[in-house]
Amino acid sequence: MARKAQQQPHYRQIPQFLRSLREGAGLTQRQLAARLKRRQSWVFNCESSNRRVDLMEFVLWTRACDKDPVKTLAKLLDQ
């Protein structure tokens, strides 16, 4: 049976990584959502693998956490 992309083994580390970015920036889900002009539930769904994050959303997420997207992506790929 086919799985959703966010449930594939190679994607599993991304939600945890996004959560660690947010927490490392000292932000709550609500605060990050406000910076991204999204609902808190959207952040929750991204962090709990209920929703897949595309590349531009990853860039916006990292910037909202005051991180450089290129360096952050390199860090993710090194894991």
For 16-68, the pLDDT digits (tens) are 999 999 999 999 999 999 999 999 999 999 999 999 999 999 999 999 999 99
Residue 77 included in any domain: no
Number of domains in the chain: 1
Instruction: Say which CATH number the domain at 58 has.
Output: 1.10.260.40
Distance CA 34, CA 38 (A): 6
Residue 79 included in any domain: no
**Structural domain of residue 44, as residue ranges?**
12-69
- Using DSSP, state whether 15 is helix, strand or coil: helix
Residue 46 included in any domain: yes
Residue 62 included in any domain: yes
pTM of this prediction?
0.88
